[in-house]
Structure 1
Amino acid sequence: MAQQGTLGVAVVGTGRMGADHVRRIHEVTSGARVAAVVDVDAERVEAVARSVGGCAAYTDPAAAMASAEVDAVLVASPGPAHEAALLEAFRRDLPVLCEKPLTPDAASALRVLEAEQRLGHRRVQVGFMRRYDPEFGRLKALLAGGGLGRPLLLHCRHRNASVPSFFTEQMLINDSVVHEMDQTRWLLEQEITSVTVLRPRPSGHAPAGIGDPQLVVFETDGGVLVDVEIFATCGFGYQVQAEAVCERGTARVGDAHGMLVNQAGRWGGEIAQDFTVRFREAYDRQVQAWVDATLRGTVEGPSAWDGYAAAAVCEAGVRAQATGERVAVELVERPALYRP
């Protein structure tokens, strides 16, 4: 139980994303404190713990979760380690904010889904942070209000300046377009039924073995077509944009219309260089919403079902990417725990 209204959080994984969440909880989030940090790298986790103060360092997630100081868990370790951490949290009935992916594949995500159902109540919020971005929130509200009529098309762009050396072609789907998969399901309140991947000629700046850019097309069970331009090595910055084309109008977000400067015969603004800058506010709002809900004794936001559905769509997307064919998405029936 949280002491004096402050949630003691164990952050599992202290790499780039985990370290940023440690900073966020320590400096930005109200109602929570970093009670423990966990990483297989003992030297790194000790350094992170020292930077926070009053925080214990562990190399074993189970040991951290057993601490009386820990009321909740934020999982930011690599995807293959998520299932074990989630099942351990379920064993102790601890609420969890799990960074995407829920797990790396549909089979393991389904095991997590089944384990949570055995608890009889939700424990997981999945970290699809775009749902907490103010621009995307306004688009969601506009579509839900029905003023533009039914959505017919959704055009999406997802561009990165560059990718790390370990990036693979499959990661275009699993690490990048996975966000558009959840975004599509959330904005439209429809399931994705198939994926097709189309390939233009690759950029001369694409790493060897990666066909970049690609055009990914979703079909939904509500009859909407969604196209996603994924361009992971565009070179100029990080951009995420979406335009809904509806019966009575269109709406677009992500143009980053911040400050524009006119100087020396030119006008322009600034393009964010990575996701931690573009979605900083969304991450802050996401973690705060999770802490607030946990302190109320509720679990809100993207569910384990959303994590499972994204994993299933990713699997179809990777097959479509490899074969050039339209691949159907296979989902189990949605369990009662995750129905509206």
Structure 2
Amino acid sequence: MSDLRVAVLGVGIMGADHVARLTSKISGAQVTVVNDYLAEKAERIAAGIPGCRVIADPLDAIADAGVDAVVLATPGPTHEKQLLACLEHSKPVLCEKPLTTDMETSLEVVKREAELGKRLIQVGFMRRFDREYAALKAMLDSGQLGRPLVLHCAHRNPAVPPSFDSAMIVRDSLVHEVDVTRFLFDEEIVSIQIITPSANPAAPEGLADPQIAIMRTASGKHVDVELFVTTGVAYEVRAEVVAEKGSAIIGLDVGLVRKTAPGNWGGQITPGFRERFGAAYDTEFQRWVDAVRKGSSTGNYTDGPSAWDGYAAAAVCEAGVQSLNNGRPVDVTMVSRDSIKGA
């Protein structure tokens, strides 16, 4: 089977990582086209890849006959038009979160894909491919812990860009815990409240950090998330499920633990997202490439998070931003999945 010819749209920090990943770590794929609104950046990256071209217009890149599939690492506001173009040209696409920046346009994308009768869109919720999250999911599905009741999460970053605002803590950080909750429990989130404790004095002025998210699932499970994106320390992501027959926790960074004089005890904290989830990204991309290459015969071009998952996350985050603004619990408003045939 010939290699999958991939166009990567957006070659900033994440997109450049994906280009390097597809070029050096993933089998069965080659990057043939790159695109970025900063033409010099795209030219520089393309120059290091044999046979790779720069196409200035992202829609032209999607339509190009030398492109079999697309990776979207472009800014969220551009996703709707680019995703609809991928669907129009029947090009499988791995779209970094968010699917789109609001639930209405996300729902439109879900409906348009469903009309085609085949799954072409995968959303980049890479934690589903992380070995620790996969092990936790398998344990819950086995019934070994009985009925899960509570999920405690922590999501901490050492720093964020100056442009990061309070709503982005919900839309760009909490969105991962939203998807993790749906992945682990196989049910939708029906309400959310964002609480803002005293702000970190080291945070940029006006940034409400940390935040506490409290969510409730359709069956009544409780989920709480500590979001703290200006810790100045390291990158920490943890999740603990408390169930009727026990509990399980991941993300403790318990690799090497050392004890040294005079009375020091400890180890290393993951410095950034690449170190924590690099292997998960590799697994995500390899499985996506494999699924797309088989898709012409199976009609299913992805086995990862779907457009519906992207829509559900957008709906929860939209309610979360409302709660951030008014301080009260907000019900999540979504259409029923059953109302969209093929979603």
Residue 274 of structure 1 is aligned with which of 272, 275, 281?
A: 272
Q: How big is each residue's C-alpha offset from its partner over 1:208-248, in whole Å with a ceiling of 9 and x where there is no partner?
A: 11121111000000110000000111111000000000000
Partner deviation per Cα, 1:231-270 (whole Å, 9 max, x = no partner): 1111110000000000000000011112223333323221
The aligned runs of 1:226-241 (5 Å cut-off) are: 226-241=223-238
Q: Deviations over 1:65-120 (max 9, x none)?
A: 23222110011100001111111111110111000000011011011111111211
Deviation per CA, 1:152-201: give whole Å up to 9, x if none. Answer: 10000000001111110000100000000000001001100000111221
CA distance in 1 between counterparts of 2:318 and 2:110 reads: 17
Q: Which residue identity lines up with residue 280 of structure 2 in the other structure?
A: A
Say whether residues 1:251 and 2:256 are aligned partners. Answer: no
Secondary structure of 1:178 counterpart: helix
Task: Report the counterpart of residue 336 of structure 1 in structure 2.
Answer: 341
Q: Identity of counterpart residues, as a percentage?
A: 49
Amino acid at match of 2:146: G
Partner Cα distance (1:263, 1:67) in 2: 59
Is 1:49 the counterpart of 2:46? The answer is yes
Conserved? CA contact 2:132–2:250, under 8 Å: yes
Which residue of 309, 324, 328 maps to 2:312? 309
Structure 1 distance, partners of 2:26, 2:124, is 16
Which one-letter code corresponds to 2:328 in the other structure?
E
Alpha-carbon distance in structure 2 between the residues aligned to 1:52 and 1:245 = 48
Map of 2:210 onto structure 1: 213
| Distance in 2 separating the partners of 1:168 and 1:87 | 28
Picking from 291, 299, 321, the partner of 2:289 is 291
**Cα contact 2:156–2:234 (8 A) shared by 1:** yes
Q: Contact conserved, 2:114 with 2:341, CA < 8 A, in 1? A: no
**Which piece of structure 1 moves more, 266-275 or 223-232?**
266-275
AA aligned to 1:208 is E
Write the distance in 2 (CA, Å) between the matches of 1:118 and 1:190.
24
Within the candidate set 127, 137, 140, 1:140 is matched to 137
How far apart are the structure 1 equivalents of 2:270 and 2:333? 36
Alignment of 1:1-340 (within 5 A): 4-265=1-262, 266-297=264-295, 298=300, 299-334=302-337, 335-338=340-343
CA distance in 2, matches of 1:336, 1:271: 45
Deviation of 1:14 after TM superposition, in Å, equals 0.6
Moved more, 177-186 or 261-270: 261-270
One-letter amino acid of the counterpart of residue 312, structure 1: A
Q: Structure 1: how far apart are the matches of 2:53 and 2:74? A: 17
Q: Answer whether contact 1:154 1:226 (CA < 8 A) is retained.
A: yes
- SS in structure 2 of the partner of residue 337 of structure 1: coil
Does the Cα contact within 8 Å between 2:71 and 2:93 map onto a contact in 1? yes
Letter of the 1:283 counterpart: Y
- Between stretches 36-45 and 312-321, larger displacement belongs to 36-45
SS at match of 1:69: coil
Distance 2:63 2:17 in 1: 24
Runs of at least 4 residues off by over 4 Å: none
Quick one: which amino acid aligns to residue 50 of structure 1?
A
**For residues 223 and 146 of structure 1, what CA distance do their matches in structure 2 show?**
18
Number of residues paired by the alignment? 335
User: How far apart, in 1, do the equivalents of 2:322 and 2:59 lie?
Assistant: 35
**1:336 is paired with a residue of what secondary structure?**
coil
User: Are 1:42 and 1:58, in contact at CA under 8 Å, matched by a contact in 2?
Assistant: no
Q: What TM-score results when the alignment is normalised by the length of structure 2?
A: 0.96
Structure 2 letter corresponding to 1:305: W
**CA distance in 2 between partners of 1:42 and 1:236 (Å):** 35
Shift in Å, 1:5: 2.6
TM-score normalised per structure 1? 0.96
What's the CA shift for 1:64?
Answer: 1.6
Query: Do the aligned partners of 1:41 and 1:59 also contact (CA within 8 Å) in 2?
Result: no
